[in-house]
Structure 1
Amino acid sequence: MSEIDLAKVELNYERFREFANNRDLSERERIGFPESYRAGYEEAILTDIVSKLEFRFRKGARLLDIGCGASPMTSAILKAAKDFEISAVMNDSPEMLSLIDEDLPFEKLPGRFPEVLDQALQMHPEGYDLILCYSVLHYIVLDTSIFDFIDAICLALKPGGCALIGDIPNLSKRRRFFASEEGIAFHKAFMKTDIPPEVKHFDVQRDAIDDAVLGAVVARVHANGSDAYVVPQPRSLPMFNRRDDIVVQRRL
């Protein structure tokens, strides 16, 4: 196990490339999660992804997984895609893609999205029926324009296609939660303290995603001629009370 404090490390595309080559990290740590944040939750996360992307109605579809990582979750998604007869294109750095189990069927799209949008459409000019971007958006915004990223997702989707931009840390939701009785009790139990969490509702936190950013993403998708919804996570997920998902359905 690594001695890296993931809570204090700035994580972005280049740092994850380094993590992919760090053999001291566990599979979950190399995609940015302490073991306790993901171990035992993969099945619940997979169930939620499969439901929101409606795998059962998408036989023969093509899935693009943006920032797929290489972890037990990656393998679970590929196995589910195979079970539902969905072909998968996995996007991440070359270093990360090299760690995915080669026994599972998938195509590789190396590079940072949306910079590789043209390559993605060269591979499949008709576009993608499904797009998954899970636990990634908060890193994407550090490297590129969030609107450029959202526009690229809309362009990569086929009309009628669906994208799940999932597990988005929402600073506004987090602050509301830790100001509530439930959140205070959660904090005290988790931190083993009698001191309530300090919540600064109006402090500016740069590079954070909040209600305003999520609303702007939804508005941008609408401007591109598609539908978008901010949807909650089920209580079975580890950070459901601080994170949101966005579902995009391309119309035009």
Structure 2
Amino acid sequence: MAKIDLAKTELNYERFRDLAKNADLSERERIGFPDHYRSGFENAILDDIRTKLEFEYRSGASMLDIGAGASPMTSALLKLAHKYNISVAMNDSPEMLSLIESEFSFEKIAGKFPDILDEALEKAPDGYDLLLCYSVLHYIIVDGSIFDFVDAICLALRPGGVALIGDIPNLSKRKRLFSSKEGIAYHKQFMNTDEDPVVDHFEIKRNAIDDAVLNAIVARAHATGNDAYIVPQPRTLPMYNRRDDIIIQRR
């Protein structure tokens, strides 16, 4: 197989199965990222995940990683979880799961979330203490219902459990950024241009996530009796100024 232009490729569950089989791609490219988007940032990302899921207080916990991928960060996450005595179930396609390299044991749950919810709960009948879905939500909603996804997240958690839906590209936040002096300067430097970024505040962009979608996720979690919050990313992360995280706590 040949290299592909990730910026021009529409990605979903089936397309990621193809990427996993493409030997011409790097580990980061096969999970949808050009190397320079993630290389050098994995430790900062893991530190943010550890902090938001409070690994220090979760010894003995079980964690489900949805859309785990197979990259240096996947292996590092398994090592980090082992350090805090957290058992991990990794969910992704069979092709992607077969590529995960780790000296630490983990459960494999092959298939597309939330279709695999019943199987995941068979392995953890009381639910999971922790749930991670990182840089994946914008692909999941292409193939299914956002509300079905949120409901499944809540059902997968045991009472008191916490989910981090992380690294969500927020179109509204991006537009606000590139309408500001800070964002215009950032764009010019990054693109090496004297031209201002073009921002259409009334653009209809299908399958994009914006403020309305994020607020709907929070509202849906609230409607099922759980707590939920939109939280920022630290500036140590590569796309912190145009992405958000959501934390859901099962009550």
Q: TM-score category by the smaller chain?
A: over 0.9
State the match for 1:81 in structure 2. 81
Which residue is equivalent to 2:109? 109
Q: Summarize deviations over 1:3-37 as a string: whole Å, max 9, x none.
A: 31111100000000001010000000000000010
Does the 8 A contact of 2:75 with 2:102 survive in 1? no
Across the aligned residues of Structure 1 and Structure 2, the Cα RMSD in angstroms comes to 1.0
Partner of 1:235: 235
Distance of aligned partners of 1:102 and 1:36 in 2 relative to their CA distance in 1, 3 Å threshold: closer
Offset from partner CA, 1:115-173 (integer Å, 9 cap, x none): 00000001111110000000000000101101001100100000000000000000000
SS at match of 1:14: helix
TM-score of the superposed pair, with normalisation by structure 2? 0.99
Report how many aligned residue pairs link the two structures.
251
Distance in 1, Cα, partners of 2:115 & 2:89: 16
Query: CA–CA distance in 2 between the matches of 1:217 and 1:124?
Result: 24
Alignment-derived partner of residue 153 in structure 1: 153
Report the counterpart of residue 250 of structure 1 in structure 2.
250
Q: Which letter does structure 1 place at the counterpart of 2:149?
A: F
What runs of 5+ residues in structure 2 fail to find an aligned partner? Answer: none
Are the aligned partners of 2:28 and 2:38 in contact in 1 as well (CA < 8 Å)?
yes
Determine the C-alpha separation between the residues in 2 that align with 1:198 and 1:104: 47
Is 1:50 equivalent to 2:54 in the alignment? Answer: no
Runs of 4+ in 1 over 2 A off after TM superposition: none
**2:137 match:** 137
Q: TM-score, normalised by structure 1?
A: 0.98
Identity over aligned pairs, percent = 70
Residue 31 of structure 2 corresponds to 31
5+ residue gaps in structure 1? Answer: none
In 2, are the aligned partners of 1:92 and 1:110 still within 8 Å (CA)?
Answer: yes
1:73 partner SS: helix
